[in-house]
Amino acid sequence: MTLDFRLLTEQLWEAMEMFYVSTRGNHPAVSSAEAIKMGISPDGGLFVPDAPVRVSPELMQRMKEMPYRERAAEILRLYLTDFTAAELEDCAARAYNTNNYDVEEIAPVKELEPGTYVLELWHGPTCAFKDMALQILPRFLPRAAAKTGEKGEIVILVATSGDTGKAALEGFKDVPGTRIMVFFPDQGVSQVQRLQMVTQEGDNVGVMAVRGNFDDAQSGVKAIFTDADINRRVGEKGFRFSSANSINWGRLAPQIVYYFSAYLDLLREGKLAEGEPVNFVVPTGNFGNILAGFYARQAGLPVNRLICAANENNVLTDFVRTGIYDRNRRFVRTISPSMDILISSNLERLLYELSGGDTTTVRDWMNELREKGMYQVGGGLLAQLQALFWSDFSSDRETKDAIRETFDRTGYVADTHTAVGLDVYKKYVLQTGDRTKTVIVSTASPFKFNDSVVEALQGKEAVKGKDEFELLHELARISGLEIPVGLKDLDRRPVRHDGVVDREEMPRAVFDFLNI
């Protein structure tokens, strides 16, 4: 009887529709398809689920033996309730397979030392963790458009500082009903990152360099999104702009999956007992990855601490320690560039959740951030924040030391972002004495940031006068790992996109791309 009752409540629960509300409270609730299609709420807020999800012990049990793609379909069903189970299974199967990933497990968990594990999220086509979401979001978007009565063809515009652009291109390449155009700063990306983008294949893709820095590219894209005339013109030709950046709930939801998957793997291998808490260490920039860990915990995953690892752009470390978010500081270029960020957009969702959905206060904080570059949270919220999160940061020196020390001690080669996580975890254990089993989230392949990694392992002399492609081979030799397919021979592939424009010419470039 008890069991029947529990199954019944689970089924009822799963049949419930989830709606999405804005963190700023000035937009009516929307369906998950609507939230994915819109990306950001028109009131400037971010979409969040209107009620927490629960992953039942029965579902945990069932997922233990499942491959990654099936786990993904199960978890996503709880959040994206207007997609059918079959649709989500199809999306997950097309995203998480061995054509796109170089390992069967998709997101493997490796033991670094007893009780310390690394979750590798970079086995996808572009060698960074952005693939985990950007391989599946492109499968959601055309369906979301169809479900919401959208007639236009979806046109994704992306401004990228490096990793997101390539991951979005790979994800959207040749996806029916979509086109994608990526703008990158002409002088602002690494040699590998540039070649990854300008050699991009696919019939629905456009790539354009913008004279200037990332901010020029970013503000240019924002200006296009918000220009009524441009939107009307593309609308009349049957197109609709959408966004693939990390404030889209369709990018966040797939990231919740790997927190569960890592836990389930450890459970299956007997490294964890049922219900045993774990810590996750997350190299953080825009707060998207670690926020997915928060939602996993909210859904019932036994998470003890979420350890937010920052580089010298340490706004988040100060915030977790003091409750003061202050972006008025010097922007530092570090060897972990994907974390060089001073406004962590996704933090807004955490503020919403921890304040119990107090949209008025969230709105005030975000206004203060816009006007003064800072805001302060107090009392109860700060206590909750500190009970769950811990944070520290690493200098470039410490990051390189962590790469070398880890390699000497364990033979594991970490990239610069992951190494920030390793260093901050060391500080965490020293300062707290907490020996809870811990998973370090690894966000990029060491081959992607090979110059810093080789320098950390072999010293400055070893990299002098060598380009990133020679260093790929050097790193393969040192580590005994194979160069990922996506990076190999990059310098020999034909350049398919060689355009460069000024910021003002970006709309023209979009029209040309769409042939309108």
Ligand X SMILES: *Cc1c(COP(=O)(O)O)cnc(C)c1O
Interface contacts to ligand X, rule CB under 6 A: 128-130, 163, 246, 283-289, 338-339, 417, 443-444
Closest CB to ligand X among 444 and 483?
A: 444
Rounded to the nearest whole angstrom, what is the least distance from the CB of residue 110 to ligand X in the complex?
A: 17
How far does Cα 405 stand from its chain's mean position?
A: 27
For residue 251, the SS3 value is helix
Structure tokens at 378: 């107090």
- Give 267-270 contacts, CB < 8 A, sequence gap 24+: 267/64, 268/64, 268/65
Whether 423 contacts 394, CB under 8 Å = yes
- For tokens 């299609």, name the residue: 37
Rounded to the nearest whole angstrom, what is the least distance from the CB of residue 286 to ligand X in the complex?
A: 3
Rounded to the nearest whole angstrom, what is the least distance from the CB of residue 464 to ligand X in the complex?
A: 25
Closest CB to ligand X among 199 and 246?
A: 246
Rounded to the nearest whole angstrom, what is the least distance from the CB of residue 290 to ligand X in the complex?
A: 6
Whether 33 contacts 143, CB under 8 Å = yes
Closest CB to ligand X among 31 and 334?
A: 334
Catalytic member of 37, 64, 130, 426:
130
List Cβ neighbours of 333 (8 Å cut-off, separation of 6 or more). Answer: 340
Rounded to the nearest whole angstrom, what is the least distance from the CB of residue 390 to ligand X in the complex?
A: 16
Closest CB to ligand X among 128 and 402?
A: 128
Which of 340, 336, 248 has its CA nearest to residue 292? 248
Structure tokens at 122: 């970079």
C-alpha torsion angle, residues 168, 391, 361, 299 (rounded to 10): 70
Closest CB to ligand X among 199 and 245?
A: 245
64 is a catalytic site residue:
no
Which of 448, 506, 471 has its CA nearest to residue 121? 448
Rounded CA gap, 470 and 451, in Å? Answer: 10
Rounded CA gap, 37 and 51, in Å? Answer: 20
Closest CB to ligand X among 220 and 293?
A: 293
Cβ burial of 28 (10 Å; 0-12, 13-18, 19+) is exposed
Rounded to the nearest whole angstrom, what is the least distance from the CB of residue 509 to ligand X in the complex?
A: 25
Structure tokens at 330: 């010097």
Which positions are annotated as active-site residues? 130
